[in-house]
Structure 1
Amino acid sequence: MQELVNASKDTAVQIKTKKKAASKVKYQLEYIRKNYYLYLLIAPAVILTIIFKYIPMYGAIIAFKDFSTIKGILGSDWVGFDNFTKFLSSPNFADIFLNTLKLSFYGLILGFPVPIILALMINQLRRAGIKKNIQLVLYAPNFISVVVIVGMVFIFLSPTGPINQIVSFITGKPLMFMSNPDYFRSIYIISGIWQAAGWSSIIYVAALANVDPELHNAATIDGANILQRIIHIDLPTLKPLMAVTFILAAGGIMSIGFEKAYLMQTSMNLPSSEILPTYVYKVGLQAGDYAYSTAVGLFNSVINVILLVVVNKIVKKLNEGEGLY
């Protein structure tokens, strides 16, 4: 008798669960029907993401094959992790990997605070005309082509350029900036900060615009100076945004732009300028070893994902549970 009672209870629970699930599905379908225009609005972005981001992932399988253009992706012989082993055991693996890591890490550490500082400085300007002109000057470099930026770097740092004219006046001889590996990393990072810092500060300026002016007025009445107001009012406002942007930047620490590094390369600065993206281009498109270059690129992506997860966990612990996810 007790078994029949338990069975009826289980059946009632199952029926209740099914009704609840059906009701939830019905509610979701009704919500979609009423707000279909919202889904139509995001549909192009979703479709483009699937076409250009997810579908190409199928091609990553050639990293595990001895790819032949004649046999195709499915017809090529499976070699497992041979391409990865070949890259990890290559004599230039350490140099390329460390060059990529150093360039990204130094660029992140030195470049991350600059947009925040610029935003805090811009936020202190009270005259709208001056503020707009300064913002225009700071944002303009972002719209300059990478090719033009590199051309400007070569002109300014050439042996007869304006920088070397000053150096020659002081030391008596010019410095070979673009042919010396020791200068490549500094030139790359500084020019990158100059180009991107102003544009990257926009998001912080927008966040600071939402700060209640009454907080600053009250702090001023209490005797707080500018630095104290920035530390106790502005920075706490930017803290969640800083955490998210830092996690995203750290997650892409191995994803350096290929164009600028490749354009700045010379035969003399290769020990410092050869990084994973330029190496993939050379062994993949120039040498035609598509499977090997895909393995290198996939290795780079895996490192990025690992860094994203690790940095997110660290930031969540340091930021009272606030992270990217």
Structure 2
Amino acid sequence: MATVDAAELQREAGLIAKPKARRFRTIRSYWDLYLIMLPGILFFAVYKYLPMWGVVIAFQDFSVFAGIRGSEWVGLAHFKEMFTDDDFYNIFLNTLLISIYKLVWGFPGPIILAIMLNEVRHMMYKRSIQTLVYLPHFLSWIIIGGILINVLSPSSGIVNAILTSLGFEPIFFLASPEWFRTVIVASDIWKEVGWGAIIYLAAIAGIDPQIYEAAIVDGANKWKQILHITLPSMMGVIVILLLLRLGHVLDVGFEQIFVLYNPLVYDVADVIETYVYRVGIQQAQFSFTTAVGLFKAVIGLMLVTLANHGAKKLGQEGIW
């Protein structure tokens, strides 16, 4: 009996060792692919995970001279200050509204563009359009901000020149609280819609052409093909990108807002990122703004978790 038990233990030990050996052989066989992954891993390790140690200053009265170890521990004092600050609620509302506008109007844009480009059959025309819509992504917000300031100028901008020729009064778009958010959302869509369409074009390219051929035989027109073949085939990619987008729902783009806003539109334009820069960097309130940043990260994590759970309930693949 003891001999049998020993033999069984040896077999179990062998079974346990085999997966480890296979894993090592896999890494050795595909060492070049793991080497390609290394820069990305190092990037996230150095710039995403190591800085998490600094989150502790949200619970301290941080002093640059005393350092993290020597600063006084104040617990949740900065979070209490944050939730009792009237300016923070206005800033949080601005961030949420701009982010929702970008999500509602900007997220479907690349999907629609990808479907439209997929229907273009003239390759030269298709590539030209692709190049034009991709180009703004490679321009910095400094350049685009300069373009917008000139185009939307109330005195010399082409947009106001057109409005004046039609009998309307000139509009100072970048200094008008009623128009500023519209400019922010529209310029963000214009800049990123072409780049965002690349992933959806790849998803469409993976659809079996025979499915479309069968649909044509059954009498389906283009609209029905898009509705019943293209969109359902893209749904997995759409859900994953939507989940990732929800994780950054409070990231509205510091560079864009910082380049375009001014004191006349602070009430509708000041967001968490610009607030953190102004209060944390310029006024050196590092602990308070770290608490604000931690609050934003927790909200993003909660939204991603809930959305991922909801996607799985609806039968879609989540991100974990």
TM-score higher than 0.5? yes
Q: Indicate the SS of the match to 2:154.
A: coil
Q: Distance between the aligned counterparts of 2:279 and 2:6, measured in 1?
A: 63
Which residue of structure 2 lines up, in the alignment, with residue 120 of structure 1? 115
* Equivalent residue runs for 1:234-273 within 5 Å: 234-273=230-269
Indicate how the Cα distance of structure 1 residues 214 and 321 shifts in structure 2: closer, same or farther if over 3 A, else same: closer
Tell me if 1:216 matches 2:216.
no
Query: Which blocks of at least 5 consecutive residues in structure 1 are unaligned?
Result: none
Q: Which amino acid aligns with 1:183?
A: W
Does the 8 A contact of 1:84 with 1:295 survive in 2?
yes
Specify the SS of the correspondent of 1:256.
Answer: coil
The correspondence for 1:41, drawn from 33, 36, 49, is: 36
Identity in percent: 38
1:191 alignment counterpart? 187
Structure 1 position 174 matched with structure 2 position 170:
yes
Deviation at 1:172, TM superposition (A): 4.7
* Aligned mates of 1:37, 1:165 — CA distance in 2: 58
Cα deviation for residue 308 of structure 1 reads 0.8
Residue 152 (1) aligns with residue 143 (2): no
Q: Distance in 2 between matches of 1:33 and 1:178?
A: 57
TM-fit CA distance, 1:315 = 2.1
Stretches of structure 2 that go unaligned for 5 or more consecutive residues are none
Which of these residues, 88, 94, 108, is aligned with residue 93 of structure 1? 88
Q: Quote the Cα distance in structure 2 between the aligned partners of 1:172 and 1:254.
A: 36
| 1:31 and 2:29 are equivalent in the alignment | no
Q: Indicate if the aligned counterparts of 1:65 and 1:80 stay in contact, CA closer than 8 A.
A: yes
SS of the aligned residue for 1:92 comes to helix
- Corresponding residue number in structure 2 for 1:141: 136
Counterpart-to-counterpart distance in 2, 1:163 and 1:10: 85
**Contact map agreement 2:236 2:316 (CA 8 A) in 1:** no
How many residue pairs end up in the alignment? 319
Match of 1:304 in 2: 300
TM-score by length of 1: 0.92
Q: Cα–Cα, structure 1 residues 213 and 24, in superposed 2: closer, same or farther, change >3 Å?
A: closer
- Contact 1:208 1:237 (C-alpha < 8 Å) held by counterparts: yes
Distance (whole Å) between structure 2 residues aligned to residue 86 and residue 314 of structure 1: 34
Q: Distance in 1 between matches of 2:284 and 2:23?
A: 50
**Residues 214-249 of structure 1, C-alpha deviations (whole Å, 9 max, x = no match):** 222222222211101111111111111111011111
Q: Aligned partners of 1:19 and 1:247: how far apart in 2?
A: 41
Residues 1:57 and 2:52 are matched in the alignment: yes
